[in-house]
Amino acid sequence: MRRAFLAGLLALSLAACASTSAAPQRYSGVWDWHFETSSFRTDEGRGPYWLSGEGAVWDQLNAPLQASGRGPWGRVRIVVEGELSEPGRYGHLGAYERELRVTRVISAEPYAERASTGS
């Protein structure tokens, strides 16, 4: 009886510690896509995160670059839904602390840097 209780308690403890997949969150910012670089920084200045996506999502992220005729590289202003990884080593040579895995593209457009209006 005692063993069954301890086994049940252990199973309950492990279940409480297990990570559950959180619902995707919305992120907006600028994605910088270049050779060995897939860097995303939010409008709030968080990041850079390694940005990844698969299939149709990747095609939607790249569409503004392809349409501009300057592709395949460049910068894109995006609004996406995705999952931010736990801290670790991501991207080329593990240079990024986190990875944003995009699951849905809401909008993607070429990024045009604003000219400074210095005095």
In Å, what is the CA distance from 118 to each residue of 113, 114, 115?
A: 15, 12, 9
Highest CATH level, class, for 22-110: mainly beta
Task: Give tens-digit pLDDT for 88-102.
Answer: 999 999 999 999 999
Task: Give tens-digit pLDDT for 29-48.
Answer: 999 999 999 999 999 999 99
**How many Å apart are CA 101 and CA 50, to the nearest integer?**
8
Segments of the chain with pLDDT less than 70: 1-21, 114-119
